[in-house]
Chain A
Amino acid sequence: MSADLGRGGSAPLEAAHPATAPREAGGLDAADLKRSGAAIELRGLTKAYGTSQAVRGVDLTIEPGEFMTFLGPSGSGKTTTLNMIAGFVPPTSGEILVDGRPLAATPPHRREMGMVFQGYALFPHLSVWDNIEFPLRQRKMPKARRRELVRAAVRTVQLEGFERRRPAQLSGGQQQRVAFARAIVYRPPVLLMDEPLGALDKKLREALQEEIREIHRKVGTTFLYVTHDQEEALSLSDRIAVYDDGRIVQVGTAEELYERPRSLFVAQFLGESTLLRGVVHPDDPRRLHAGAHGIPLSGSHGVRGDAVVVIRPEQLRLTAGGPAPGRAGVPVTVRDETYLGHSRKLTVELPGGHTGLVREGPGTASGLRVGDSGYATWDPAAAAVVPDL
Chain B
Amino acid sequence: MTAISPRPAPGPAADRPAGPGPRSGDAGGGRAPRSRRPLLLVPTVLLVLAGFVYPVGTIVVRSVTQPEFGPQNFSWLLHDATSLQVLGRTLVVAALATLITLVLGYPYAYLMTVSGPALRGLLMLAVLMPFWTSLMVRVFAWVIILQDHGVLNTVLGALGLGETHLLGTTTGVLIGICQLLMPFMVLPLFNAMRSIDRRVVQAGMICGAPPWKAFWRVFVPLSLPGVFAGSLMVFILSLGFYVTPAVLGSPRQELLPNALYTQISELLNWGRGGALAVALLLTAGVLLAVTTWVSKRVTGKAAGVTGGLEL
Tell me the minimal C-beta distance from A139 to chain B in angstroms. Answer: 6
From A117-125, A256-264, A340-348, A365-373, the one touching the partner chain is A117-125
Contacting pair B208 A109 (CB below 8 A)? yes
Tell me the minimal C-beta distance from A181 to chain B in angstroms. Answer: 12
Contacting pair B218 A109 (CB below 8 A)? no
Chain B contact surface mostly = helix
Give CA–CA (A138, B207) in the complex, Å: 7
B23 interface contact, C-beta 8 A: no
Instruction: Determine the chain B residues whose CB is within 8 A of the CB of A115 once the complex forms.
Output: 203, 206
A135 interface contact, C-beta 8 A: yes
Instruction: Determine the chain B residues whose CB is within 8 A of the CB of A87 once the complex forms.
Output: 205-206
| B211-246 vs A, Cβ < 8 Å mask (1 yes, 0 no) | 101100110011000000000000000000000000
Contacting pair B208 A86 (CB below 8 A)? no
Across chains A and B, the number of contacting residue pairs, with CB separation under 8 Å, is 67
Contacting pair A113 B222 (CB below 8 A)? no
A186 interface contact, C-beta 8 A: yes
Within 8 A of B (CB), among A69-127: 86-88, 107-115, 117-119, 121-125
B197 interface contact, C-beta 8 A: yes
Given A109-B211, A138-B213, A166-B300: A123 touches B218 (CB 8 Å cut-off): yes
Q: How many residues of A contact B (CB 8 A)?
A: 29
A182 interface contact, C-beta 8 A: yes
In the complex, besides A121-B200, A168-B300, 12 extra interface pairs with C-beta distance below 8 angstroms are A86-B206, A107-B210, A109-B207, A113-B206, A115-B203, A115-B206, A117-B199, A117-B202, A121-B197, A138-B207, A138-B213, A166-B300
What residues make up the interface of B, taking CB atoms closer than 8 Å to A? 197, 199-200, 202-211, 213-214, 217-218, 221-222, 299-300
Q: List 29 A-B contacts (CB under 8 A).
A: A86-B206, A88-B202, A88-B205, A108-B205, A108-B206, A109-B207, A109-B210, A109-B214, A110-B208, A115-B203, A117-B199, A118-B199, A119-B197, A121-B202, A121-B203, A122-B203, A123-B200, A123-B218, A124-B200, A124-B222, A125-B221, A125-B300, A134-B204, A134-B217, A138-B208, A138-B209, A166-B300, A168-B300, A186-B208
What residues make up the interface of A, taking CB atoms closer than 8 Å to B? 86-88, 107-115, 117-119, 121-125, 134-135, 138-139, 166, 168, 182, 186, 192
